Chain A
Amino acid sequence: MAHAPEQDPATSDLGEERPKWDNKAQYFLSCIGFAVGLGNIWRFPYLCQTYGGGAFLIPYVIALVFEGIPIFHVELAIGQRLRKGSVGVWTAISPYLSGVGLSSVTLSLLISLYYNAIVAWVLWYLLNSFQHPLPWSSCPPDLNRTGFVEECQGSSAVSYFWYRQTLNITADINDSGSIQWWLLLCLAASWAVVYMCVIRGIETTGKVIYFTALFPYLVLTIFVIRGLTLPGATKGLIYLFTPNMHILQNPQVWLDAATQIFFSLSLAFGGHIAFASYNSPRNDCQKDAVVIALVNSMTSLYASIAVFSVLGFKATNDYGHCLDRNILSLINEFDFPEQSISRDDYLAVLMHLNATWPKRVAQLPLKVCRLEDFLDKSASGPGLAFILFTEAVLHMPGAPAWAVLFFGMLFTLGLSTMFGSMEAVITPMLDVGVLPRWVPKEALTGLVCLACFLFATCFTLQSGNYWLEIFDNVAASLNLLILAFLEVVGVAYVYGMKRFCDDIAWMTGRRPSPYWRLTWRVVSPLLLLTIFVAYITLLSQKPLSYRAWNPKYELFPTRQEKLYPGWVLAACALLSLLPLLWVPGVALAQLLTRQRRTWRDRDACLDTDTSSRQEWD
């Protein structure tokens, strides 16, 4: 039987009862909301499509079973058992490992900074969706009003709205530009909303989470129904899910599947530990872990159905327009009556005309239209949401309503993930007692939100998007992998597998099966180590570069590939290393204090010895 903790877990040092969830549903929805985020919408469908459709599910499920669920279970179990945030939990496991908790807090802070900047962009688009016609539907006219703005004409109205009217992006990361006031307002509003929801910790997030966690599912269902009824949706879905087994030979696929499942579940943030710490100790965390992880993956699949039916519709639409433009060129050149060539007849007519008047046909600007080319044009990340999807929505009848629904869904998805990140920061702060006891919780959360908002204003600069990509690629990935590795190893070997299994048996009523013990001991650490090594190798193979939006580039609208300047690379190195310095730093500090204490004790013993010897003499 597990030994009871020295202190009554229901009360903290301060004698105040630890807050707890109103009911199990709140806890469930909070974890699901934290795990299900923007990545489920705009990263998973892209990976699925790039890596051979249905075939991608194989490495994905393997990674889920051997990496995602075990680590997730560990986080929920230690949070629930030790009833503290990440810092407290790791200090309880071993004082040398409390650096892991501090690193988690630092990382959650850094990630919240740029994640809420993305939410601010989503909010900007949401606010702009309440008008008809949508502002990204047409290019603005130029000064003479004889044509459209050149940058818009060269790319497209949606790209122009994103890069120019939203970000007002510079052509180079060195050129920071000025703060864009509209983005600053949206950022302030996002942080105000986050503050409103986390102001009293889980007391307030628990109420809001019913809406923010469930609304995305409602919107996804609406989009699935609408998407499947759009023409061309089935082509998109078939293209997405057609398995291409050969792609599994590429190691990059396995790496991306493992990293996707890892980031999708939001592991190593400390957010799940914080949420679980507010649970009653006797809660079946094993079932919770499996169910929440499965719900997260199912959501990814569901979202990809919605996304790809809409993108299939868009591709079919674009393909039709491509054909129509060619047909119009032919009709105008040869003065045929309007609408005399249908899309099906186009190729036959073209061949006939090419045979009879090859010279006239040759000088026409005819493009080759292939549906596969349009289906291939997918993107991940903000490109999917702010460029591809916004354009697809334009062609749907009742476009503003669909835009409002889509961006509302993205906003709530981002919000619920922000709750988890904020709790990952605030719960340890409350446990450790960063501010004196008389300072109310509202003030602590307010200070944290204000500080984050002030730091995040750098993302509202004109080069903000480039910095956000750096944060996204560098600050998050490697550090979280290392932290998760330390988590699993720390619990399996430092805390002790026997002790951990006893704890779980006490909480859930049954001992973990050999599957759990094997994954915790061997499989997950090995898998994480492999991913880490592969990541580092791939990173070192090519120099770090970014793609800039430069209207003066010859190949505009293709983005220009530029290398990061030296000072940016130094900042990248800092971002990736500093959060992890807590781990060796704290371990070293603990070692030194212990050594000093043993020296002091030894000196004290020697003094008493000498004094007692003096007495003898």
Chain B
Amino acid sequence: MLWLLFFLVTAIHAELCQPGAANAFKVRLSIRTALGDKAYAWDTNEEYLFKAMVAFSMRKVPNREATEISHVLLCNVTQRVSFWFVVTDPSKNHTLPAVEVQTAIRMNKNRINGAFFLNDQTLEFLKIPSTLAPPMDPSVPIWIIIFGVIFCIVIVAITLLILSGIRQRRRKNKEPSEVDDAEDKCENMNTIENGIPCDPLDMKGGHMNDAFMTEDERLTPL
């Protein structure tokens, strides 16, 4: 009798959970792609955890707080690691509508991913699109910060160059007038000193004494 009941239950379960059945979802895991060497093997314990996570997600839906792990049925587990699952109602005769299951899974996808160390690409619920993470928009884009830094440096450099150019030009303009002043002062001093006009005396370099030169020429060459 018990055997009969057991067969009946599994038969009903088999009908509820079938590839392509109503309200059934296919799940595909790529554990080795995600974890490489640290990949764990997919066994019945992992399946238990999966059922627990789905039940947990369903319990978050209003009116479904009574969902138990036994209400989640898995079938057709392949070596790929892919399988189908359905969630039944407490009477275990009907499956819950796909929309409810979809909403529940979408809301808790991150928790489910985390439980298995996978992400949206390696734990796929076919027919349930995952919500992509919002783009990480910092309040000020990074490029503006770097642009601001570079631009400020360039503006400062330009200002410095212009100012140094102005200073150089001012110095150059002052120099010839300064040199002129010095020369005037020199001449003034020359003429003032001793009261003797010194103009004939050439202060710079040697000056040939004409008389001496003509003396030389008188001497006959050897």
Q: Across the interface, do B147 and A189 meet the contact criterion of CB distance under 8 Å?
A: yes
Is A332 interfacial (CB-CB < 8 Å)?
yes
Q: A141-B135, A189-B150, A192-B151 are in contact. Are A147 and B129 (CB under 8 A)?
A: yes
Q: A127-B147, A338-B81, A339-B33 are in contact. Are A195 and B129 (CB under 8 A)?
A: no
Q: Across the interface, do A442 and B165 meet the contact criterion of CB distance under 8 Å?
A: yes
CA distance A440 to B162 in the complex (A): 10
From B133, B158, B165, B169, A195 is in contact (CB under 8 Å) with: B158
Is B190 interfacial (CB-CB < 8 Å)?
no
From B33, B78, B131, B154, A145 is in contact (CB under 8 Å) with: B131
Is A241 interfacial (CB-CB < 8 Å)?
no
CA distance A322 to B166 in the complex (A): 63
Is A335 interfacial (CB-CB < 8 Å)?
yes
Instruction: Output the nearest chain A residue to B39 by Cβ-Cβ distance.
Output: A338
Q: Across the interface, do B142 and A131 meet the contact criterion of CB distance under 8 Å?
A: yes
Q: A127-B146, A130-B143, A440-B169 are in contact. Are A145 and B80 (CB under 8 A)?
A: no
CA distance A147 to B78 in the complex (A): 28
Q: Across the interface, do B147 and A186 meet the contact criterion of CB distance under 8 Å?
A: yes
Within the complex, what minimum Cβ distance (angstroms) separates A132 from chain B?
10
Q: Across the interface, do B131 and A127 meet the contact criterion of CB distance under 8 Å?
A: no
Is A313 interfacial (CB-CB < 8 Å)?
no
Instruction: Output the nearest chain B residue to A140 by Cβ-Cβ distance.
Output: B135
Is B119 interfacial (CB-CB < 8 Å)?
no
Q: Across the interface, do B162 and A189 meet the contact criterion of CB distance under 8 Å?
A: no
Is A42 interfacial (CB-CB < 8 Å)?
no
**Residues from chain B with Cβ under 8 Å of A148 in the complex:** 132
Interface class of chain B by DSSP: helix
Is A185 interfacial (CB-CB < 8 Å)?
yes
**Residues from chain B with Cβ under 8 Å of A436 in the complex:** none
**Residues from chain B with Cβ under 8 Å of A332 in the complex:** 28, 80, 82
The stretch from A56-64, A167-175, A196-204, A291-299 touching chain B is A196-204
Q: Which of B142-197 contact A (CB under 8 A)?
A: 142-143, 146-147, 150-151, 154-155, 157-158, 161-162, 165-166, 169
Is A599 interfacial (CB-CB < 8 Å)?
no
**Residues from chain B with Cβ under 8 Å of A124 in the complex:** 143
Q: Across the interface, do A130 and B142 meet the contact criterion of CB distance under 8 Å?
A: yes
> Number of residue pairs across A and B with beta carbons under 8 Å?
81
Is A193 interfacial (CB-CB < 8 Å)?
yes
CA distance A38 to B81 in the complex (A): 51
From A130, A188, A336, B146 is in contact (CB under 8 Å) with: A130
Within the complex, what minimum Cβ distance (angstroms) separates A355 from chain B?
21
From B135, B154, B166, A189 is in contact (CB under 8 Å) with: B154
Is A566 interfacial (CB-CB < 8 Å)?
no
From A140, A147, A338, B80 is in contact (CB under 8 Å) with: A338
From A185, A335, A440, B78 is in contact (CB under 8 Å) with: A335
From A185, A199, A339, B147 is in contact (CB under 8 Å) with: A185
Is A146 interfacial (CB-CB < 8 Å)?
yes
**Residues from chain B with Cβ under 8 Å of A339 in the complex:** 32-33
Q: A200-B161, A332-B28 are in contact. Are A146 and B131 (CB under 8 A)?
A: yes
**Residues from chain A with Cβ under 8 Å of B135 in the complex:** 140-141
Q: Across the interface, do A146 and B143 meet the contact criterion of CB distance under 8 Å?
A: no
CA distance A318 to B161 in the complex (A): 50
Q: Across the interface, do B131 and A204 meet the contact criterion of CB distance under 8 Å?
A: no
CA distance A336 to B81 in the complex (A): 9
Instruction: Output the nearest chain A residue to B151 by Cβ-Cβ distance.
Output: A189
Is A156 interfacial (CB-CB < 8 Å)?
no
Chain B interface bracket (under 10, 10 to 19, 20 to 34, 35 or more): 20 to 34
From B30, B146, B158, A196 is in contact (CB under 8 Å) with: B158
Q: Across the interface, do A196 and B161 meet the contact criterion of CB distance under 8 Å?
A: yes
Within the complex, what minimum Cβ distance (angstroms) separates B88 from chain A?
25
Q: A147-B132, A192-B154 are in contact. Are A338 and B30 (CB under 8 A)?
A: yes
Is B79 interfacial (CB-CB < 8 Å)?
yes
Within the complex, what minimum Cβ distance (angstroms) separates A121 from chain B?
13
**Residues from chain B with Cβ under 8 Å of A185 in the complex:** 147
Is A337 interfacial (CB-CB < 8 Å)?
yes
Is B31 interfacial (CB-CB < 8 Å)?
yes
Q: Mark B102-142, 1 if CB is under 8 A from A, else 0.
A: 00000000000000000000000000011111110000001
Is A128 interfacial (CB-CB < 8 Å)?
yes
Q: Across the interface, do B132 and A145 meet the contact criterion of CB distance under 8 Å?
A: yes
Q: A141-B134, A189-B151 are in contact. Are A335 and B158 (CB under 8 A)?
A: no
From B129, B133, B142, B157, A146 is in contact (CB under 8 Å) with: B129
Point out which of B129, B130, B157 has the most chain A C-beta atoms below 10 A from its C-beta.
B157
**Residues from chain A with Cβ under 8 Å of B166 in the complex:** 440
**Residues from chain B with Cβ under 8 Å of A338 in the complex:** 30-33, 80-81
Is A489 interfacial (CB-CB < 8 Å)?
no
Within the complex, what minimum Cβ distance (angstroms) separates B101 from chain A?
17
**Residues from chain B with Cβ under 8 Å of A440 in the complex:** 165-166, 169
**Residues from chain A with Cβ under 8 Å of B146 in the complex:** 127, 130
Within the complex, what minimum Cβ distance (angstroms) separates A106 from chain B?
27
Instruction: Output the nearest chain A residue to B79 by Cβ-Cβ distance.
Output: A337
CA distance A597 to B151 in the complex (A): 54
Within the complex, what minimum Cβ distance (angstroms) separates B129 from chain A?
5
**Residues from chain A with Cβ under 8 Å of B162 in the complex:** 199, 442
**Residues from chain A with Cβ under 8 Å of B161 in the complex:** 196, 199-200, 204, 442
Is A350 interfacial (CB-CB < 8 Å)?
no
Q: Across the interface, do A335 and B150 meet the contact criterion of CB distance under 8 Å?
A: no
CA distance A195 to B30 in the complex (A): 56
Q: A140-B135, A145-B134, A146-B129 are in contact. Are A196 and B143 (CB under 8 A)?
A: no
Is A331 interfacial (CB-CB < 8 Å)?
yes
Q: Mark B46-58, 1 if CB is under 8 A from A, else 0.
A: 0000000000000
Q: Across the interface, do B165 and A336 meet the contact criterion of CB distance under 8 Å?
A: no
Instruction: Output the nearest chain A residue to B106 by Cβ-Cβ distance.
Output: A146
CA distance A195 to B151 in the complex (A): 12
**Residues from chain A with Cβ under 8 Å of B129 in the complex:** 146-147
CA distance A332 to B130 in the complex (A): 19
Q: Mark B69-96, 1 if CB is under 8 A from A, else 0.
A: 0000000001111100000000000000
CA distance A336 to B32 in the complex (A): 13
CA distance A148 to B129 in the complex (A): 12
**Residues from chain A with Cβ under 8 Å of B142 in the complex:** 127-128, 130-131
**Residues from chain B with Cβ under 8 Å of A200 in the complex:** 161, 165
Q: Mark A122-153, 1 if CB is under 8 A from B, else 0.
A: 00100110110000000011000111100000
CA distance A32 to B157 in the complex (A): 25
Q: Which of A354-368 contact B (CB under 8 A)?
A: none
Within the complex, what minimum Cβ distance (angstroms) separates A438 from chain B?
10
CA distance A337 to B79 in the complex (A): 5
Q: List 26 A-B contacts (CB under 8 A).
A: A127-B146, A127-B150, A130-B143, A141-B132, A141-B133, A141-B135, A145-B134, A146-B130, A146-B131, A147-B132, A148-B132, A185-B147, A189-B147, A189-B150, A189-B154, A193-B154, A199-B158, A199-B165, A200-B161, A204-B161, A335-B79, A336-B79, A337-B81, A338-B31, A338-B80, A442-B161
With contacts A185-B147, A200-B161, A442-B165 known, what are 10 further pairs, Cβ within 8 A? A141-B133, A145-B132, A145-B134, A182-B143, A192-B151, A193-B154, A199-B161, A332-B28, A338-B81, A440-B165
Q: 5 closest A-B pairs (Cβ-Cβ)?
A: A335-B78, A127-B143, A141-B132, A335-B80, A337-B79
